[in-house]
Amino acid sequence: MSENSLAPIRRKMFVKASTVPRLSPERMKRESLITHLACSLLSNPMEAIGFLNGTNETLGGRPLTIASGSSAGYAAVEAAIRLLAKPVMGTQQ
The answer to whether 77 touches 59, Cβ cutoff 8 Å, is: yes
Gap between the Cα atoms of 48 and 37, Å rounded = 9
Radius of gyration, alpha carbons of the chain:
22
Q: Is the pLDDT of residue 92 over 70?
A: no
Gap between the Cα atoms of 21 and 23, Å rounded = 7
Contacts of 30 (CB under 8 A, 6+ apart): 67, 68, 69, 71, 74
CA dihedral over 17, 21, 27, 31, signed as positive or negative: negative
How high is the pLDDT of residue 90?
54
How high is the pLDDT of residue 80?
95
Higher pLDDT, 43 or 74: 74
Contacts of 1 (CB under 8 A, 6+ apart): 7
How much is the mean pLDDT over the chain?
86
Higher pLDDT, 2 or 45: 45
The per-residue pLDDT for range 49-81, each reduced to its tens digit, is 999 999 999 999 999 999 999 999 999 999 999
- Domain ranges in the chain? 25-85
